[in-house]
Amino acid sequence: MIKAAIGIDIGGTNTAFGIVDGSGKVISEDSIERKDYGSAADFVKKLSSGINKLISKSAEELDIIGLGIGAPNGNYYKGTIEFAPNLPWKGEIKFADMFRQYFDLPVILTNDAKAAAIGEMIYGAAKGMRDFILITLGTGLGSGFVANGELIYGNDGFAGELGHVIAVRGGRLCGCGRKGCLEQYASATGIVKTVIEMLAQSNEKSELRDIAEDSITSKKIFEAAKAGDKLALDAFDYTAKILGMSLADAVAITSPEAIILFGGLALSGDLILKPTKMYMEENLLDVYKNKVKLLLSSIAGSNAAILGASALAWKSAISK
Amino acid sequence: MIKAAIGIDIGGTNTAFGIVDGSGKVISEDSIERKDYGSAADFVKKLSSGINKLISKSAEELDIIGLGIGAPNGNYYKGTIEFAPNLPWKGEIKFADMFRQYFDLPVILTNDAKAAAIGEMIYGAAKGMRDFILITLGTGLGSGFVANGELIYGNDGFAGELGHVIAVRGGRLCGCGRKGCLEQYASATGIVKTVIEMLAQSNEKSELRDIAEDSITSKKIFEAAKAGDKLALDAFDYTAKILGMSLADAVAITSPEAIILFGGLALSGDLILKPTKMYMEENLLDVYKNKVKLLLSSIAGSNAAILGASALAWKSAISK
Same domain, A167 and A253: yes
CB pairs under 8 A between A and B: 136
Same domain, B147 and B177: yes
Is the Cβ of B159 closer than 8 Å to some Cβ of chain A?
yes
Same domain, B22 and B83: yes
pLDDT in tens, B116-131: 999 999 989 999 999 9
Same domain, A307 and A183: no
pLDDT in tens, B169-190: 999 999 999 999 999 999 999 9
Is the Cβ of B257 closer than 8 Å to some Cβ of chain A?
yes
Pick the residue from chain B with its C-alpha nearest to A130: B155
Same domain, B70 and B165: no
Biggest CA pair distance of chain B = 64
Residue A36 is predicted with a pLDDT of 83
Same domain, B48 and B34: yes
Distance from CA of B3 to the nearest CA of A (A): 29
Please determine, for residue B53, whether its predicted confidence score (pLDDT) is greater than 70.
yes
Same domain, B42 and B69: yes
A283:B131 CB<8 A: no
Same domain, A95 and A166: no
Task: For chain A, positions 166-205, list CB contacts with chain B under 8 A.
Answer: 166, 169, 176-178
Domain count, chain A: 2
Nearest by CB to A256, which of B155, B161, B177?
B155
**pTM for this entry:** 0.93
Same domain, A100 and A194: no
Same domain, A83 and A191: no
pLDDT in tens, B195-208: 999 999 999 999 99
Pick the residue from chain A with its C-alpha nearest to B158: A255
How far is residue A49's CA from residue A52's CA, in Å, rounded to a whole number?
A: 5
pLDDT band at residue A300 under the 50/70/90 scheme = low
pLDDT in tens, B255-303: 999 999 998 899 899 999 999 999 999 999 999 999 999 999 988 666 7
pLDDT in tens, A79-126: 999 887 778 888 899 999 999 999 999 999 999 899 999 999 998 999
Is the Cβ of B131 closer than 8 Å to some Cβ of chain A?
yes
pLDDT band at residue A302 under the 50/70/90 scheme = low
The answer to whether B241 and B211 are in contact (CB under 8 A) is no
Contact list, A154 vs chain B (CB under 8 Å) = 131, 147, 254-256
Please determine, for residue B220, whether its predicted confidence score (pLDDT) is greater than 90.
yes
The answer to whether A234 and A252 are in contact (CB under 8 A) is no
Residue B249 is predicted with a pLDDT of 98
Share of chain A above pLDDT 70, in %: 99
Q: Mean per-residue pLDDT for B221-241? A: 97
Pick the residue from chain B with its C-alpha nearest to A179: B283
pLDDT in tens, A189-247: 999 999 999 999 999 999 999 999 999 999 999 999 999 999 999 999 999 999 999 99
Task: For chain B, positions 226-255, list CB contacts with chain A under 8 A.
Answer: 245, 248-250, 252-255
Contact list, B294 vs chain A (CB under 8 Å) = none
Same domain, B243 and B315: no
Residue A264 is predicted with a pLDDT of 84
Supply the ipTM of this predicted assembly: 0.93
pLDDT band at residue B320 under the 50/70/90 scheme = low
How far is residue B192's CA from residue B198's CA, in Å, rounded to a whole number?
A: 10
The answer to whether A39 and A118 are in contact (CB under 8 A) is no
How far is residue A308's CA from residue A169's CA, in Å, rounded to a whole number?
A: 33
Is the Cβ of B287 closer than 8 Å to some Cβ of chain A?
yes
Residue A151 is predicted with a pLDDT of 95
Question: In terms of residue numbers, what domain contains B112?
Answer: 2-123+302-319
Same domain, A248 and A163: yes
B249:A286 CB<8 A: no
Q: What CATH number does the domain containing B239 carry? A: 3.30.420.40
What does pLDDT average to over chain B?
93
B166:A249 CB<8 A: yes
> Which one, of A186, A150, A142, A153, lies nearest residue A167 by Cα?
A186
Residue A79 burial class via C-beta count within 10 angstroms: exposed 0-12, middle 13-18, buried 19 and up: buried
Contact list, A130 vs chain B (CB under 8 Å) = 155
